[in-house]
């Protein structure tokens, strides 16, 4: 191959720039030119007024300048148009017209589905699992997960310091979509006492009982870490009625529960000043950790080598600490296994 493309898609993840840098270095080494495709799959549709806003020749020197920065230089997006077969066909034609013979796709499972479609249309793609969520079953770690956990660990430690100063329990909400791995690892690495995840059904009463017990046993600053996707796994509880009866304002029947409301419920159930913090984008906009930077480096290099050897339709992952690759379809078929043993340990010790 003489020319390849690279794109980042879905939510940005720490390490995406580092992976693009690794791709750029390997492409230069093997004498291939590299096209950066902007804003995920949107760039392949070439809808912008200027082509540079969709696809741009990547110069290694420019890339070296941004490799250490958080976020993604190529920009990213979730491209709904790409769900339409006629749009994917249009994209494949644009890619061919640009002389791009293969693409490195850095993103999560939605991005992988886009890559698989492009492969079916004759454009070889190799995926690098760029997402903080760690929700891809075939790999031990996704790119960005380690950094996100480090970020949450730092933030939860800060929350616990203030909780300790005031003898107040805290609720910290972390990301992860339908995956509880960020919450679980954050608890394990900070000593947070209660972990709530989407994978395990839970009830507010059970959480309140545990928190009240911790407070009664001399730990008035315990921390609850809740994964953003865990609300769907909550046993039904008329929490709006519970809060309204206690004089809490602006709680309407169609309001959905969140960590602020959970903190209020726990405050009333345990008679304690419980405070909630939503960690949000602090988890995504970080400099990649050493682990993520290493993974990005190896994955970027392997992706270029696969394309160079005509091996498309693959995704890269980590198994037993080593970088490997496997077919996209096979990777997407694997079922995630939640680490129930660690979850039980965190919640019982
Ligand atoms: O997939 C990464 C992620 O941060 C999820 O954890 C979260 O649910 C989602 O993206 C948030 O997306 P947005 O970029 O739309 O805020």
Residues in the chain: 349
Write down the pLDDT at residue 228.
98
Write down the pLDDT at residue 98.
95
E-only strand ranges, the chain: 3-8, 33-37, 55-57, 103-107, 125-129, 170-174, 194-196, 223-227, 275-278, 314-319, 322-327
Write down the pLDDT at residue 190.
97
Query: pLDDT per residue over 147-205, tens digit each?
Result: 999 999 999 999 999 999 999 999 999 999 999 999 999 999 999 999 999 999 999 99
Return the closest-CA partner of residue 270 out of 225, 345, 202, 206.
Answer: 206
Q: Of 47-56, 241-250, 267-276, which has the strongest mean pLDDT? A: 267-276
Binned at pLDDT 50, 70 and 90, residue 291 comes out as: very high
Nearest CA to ligand 1 atom 6: 176
Of ligand 1's listed atoms, the one at least distance from the Cα of 229 is 8
Average pLDDT (85-90) is 96
At 156, phi and psi to the nearest 5? -70, -35
Instruction: Check pLDDT > 90 for residue 61.
Output: no
| Planar angle of CA 172, 77, 47, nearest 5 degrees | 165
Instruction: Check pLDDT > 90 for residue 51.
Output: no
For residue 132 and ligand 1, the question of a CB distance below 6 A is answered with yes
Q: Measure the CA–CA gap between 6 and 19, rounded to whole angstroms.
A: 10
Whole-number Å distance, alpha carbon 74 to ligand 1 midpoint, is: 18
Binned at pLDDT 50, 70 and 90, residue 341 comes out as: very high
The DSSP bridge pattern shows strands 223-227 and 194-196 to be parallel
Instruction: Check pLDDT > 90 for residue 48.
Output: no
Q: Does domain 146-284 bear CATH number 3.30.390.30?
A: no
| Residue 133 a catalytic site member | yes
Instruction: Check pLDDT > 90 for residue 270.
Output: yes
For residue 77 and ligand 1, the question of a CB distance below 6 A is answered with no
Write down the pLDDT at residue 300.
98
Question: What is the separation of C-alpha 285 from the centre of its chain, rounded to a whole number of angstroms?
Answer: 11
For residue 177 and ligand 1, the question of a CB distance below 6 A is answered with yes
Q: Counting Cβ atoms within 10 Å, is residue 200 exposed (0-12), middle (13-18) or buried (19+)?
A: middle
How much is the mean pLDDT over the chain? 96
Instruction: Check pLDDT > 90 for residue 62.
Output: no
Q: Is 167 left (phi over 0), alpha (psi -120 to 50) or beta?
A: left
Average pLDDT (110-132) is 97
Binned at pLDDT 50, 70 and 90, residue 318 comes out as: very high
Q: How far, CA to CA in Å, does 240 sit from each of 124, 231, 251?
A: 52, 14, 6
Q: Counting Cβ atoms within 10 Å, is residue 256 exposed (0-12), middle (13-18) or buried (19+)?
A: exposed
DSSP code per residue over 127-148: EEEB-TT---TTSS--BTHHHH
Write down the pLDDT at residue 76.
96
Binned at pLDDT 50, 70 and 90, residue 274 comes out as: very high
For residue 176 and ligand 1, the question of a CB distance below 6 A is answered with yes
Of ligand 1's listed atoms, the one at least distance from the Cα of 182 is 6
Write down the pLDDT at residue 72.
97
Helix (H, G, I), strand (E, B) or coil at 177: coil
What are the sequence ranges of the domains in the chain? Answer: 3-144+288-333, 146-284
Q: Are 81 and 110 spatial neighbours (Cβ–Cβ below 8 Å)?
A: no
Instruction: Check pLDDT > 90 for residue 101.
Output: yes
Long-range contacts of 305-309, Cβ-Cβ distance < 8 Å, separation of 24 or more: 305/26, 306/126, 307/1, 307/4, 307/101, 307/102, 307/104, 307/124, 307/126, 308/1, 308/30, 308/32
Percentage with pLDDT > 90 across the chain: 92
Helix (H, G, I), strand (E, B) or coil at 315: strand
For residue 284 and ligand 1, the question of a CB distance below 6 A is answered with yes
Write down the pLDDT at residue 128.
98
Q: Are 302 and 316 spatial neighbours (Cβ–Cβ below 8 Å)?
A: yes
Average pLDDT (100-115) is 97
Of ligand 1's listed atoms, the one at least distance from the Cα of 13 is 2
Residues 6+ apart with CB under 8 A from 349: none
Q: Read off the pTM.
A: 0.96
User: Which CATH code is given to the segment(s) 3-144+288-333?
Assistant: 3.40.50.450
Selected catalytic residue, list 12, 133, 155, 181: 133
Runs of H (alpha helix) within 109-225: 109-120, 145-166, 181-190, 204-216
Q: 146-284: same fold as 3-144+288-333? A: yes
């Amino acid at each position: 191959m003489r020319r390849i493309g690279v794109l980042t898609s879905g939510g940005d993840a720490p390490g995406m720039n580092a992976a693009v840098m690794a791709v750029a270095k390997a492409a230069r080494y093997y004498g291939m030119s590299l096209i950066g495709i902007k804003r995920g799959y949107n760039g392949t549709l070439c809808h912008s007024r200027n082509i540079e806003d969709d696809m741009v020749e990547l110069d290694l020197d420019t890339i070296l300048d941004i490799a250490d920065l958080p976020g993604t230089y190529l920009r990213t997006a979730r491209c709904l148009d790409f769900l339409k077969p006629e749009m994917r066909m249009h994209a494949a034609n644009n890619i061919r017209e640009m002389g791009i013979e293969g693409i490195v796709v850095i993103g999560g499972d939605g991005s992988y589905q886009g890559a698989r479609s492009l492969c079916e249309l004759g454009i070889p793609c190799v995926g690098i699992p760029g997402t903080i969520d760690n929700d891809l079953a075939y790999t031990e770690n996704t790119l960005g997960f380690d950094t996100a956990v480090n970020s949450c660990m730092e933030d939860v430690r800060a929350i616990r310091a203030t909780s300790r100063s005031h003898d107040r329990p805290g609720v910290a909400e972390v990301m992860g979509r339908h995956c509880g791995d960020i919450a679980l690892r954050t608890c394990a690495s900070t000593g947070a006492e209660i972990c709530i995840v989407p994978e395990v059904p839970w009830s507010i009463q059970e959480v309140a009982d545990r928190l009240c017990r911790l407070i009664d046993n001399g730990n008035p600053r315990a921390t609850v870490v809740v994964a953003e996707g865990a609300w769907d796994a909550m046993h039904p509880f008329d929490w709006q009625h519970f809060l309204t009866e206690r004089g809490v304002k602006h709680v309407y029947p169609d309001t959905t529960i969140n960590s602020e409301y959970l903190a209020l419920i726990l405050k009333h159930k345990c008679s304690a000043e419980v405070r909630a913090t939503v960690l949000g984008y602090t988890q995504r906009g970080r400099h990649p950790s050493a682990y993520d930077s290493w993974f990005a480096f190896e994955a970027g290099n392997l992706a270029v080598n696969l394309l160079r050897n005509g091996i498309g339709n693959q995704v890269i992952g980590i198994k037993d600490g080593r970088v490997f690759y496997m077919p996209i379809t096979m990777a997407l078929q694997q079922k995630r296994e939640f680490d129930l043993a660690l979850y039980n340990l965190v919640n019982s010790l």
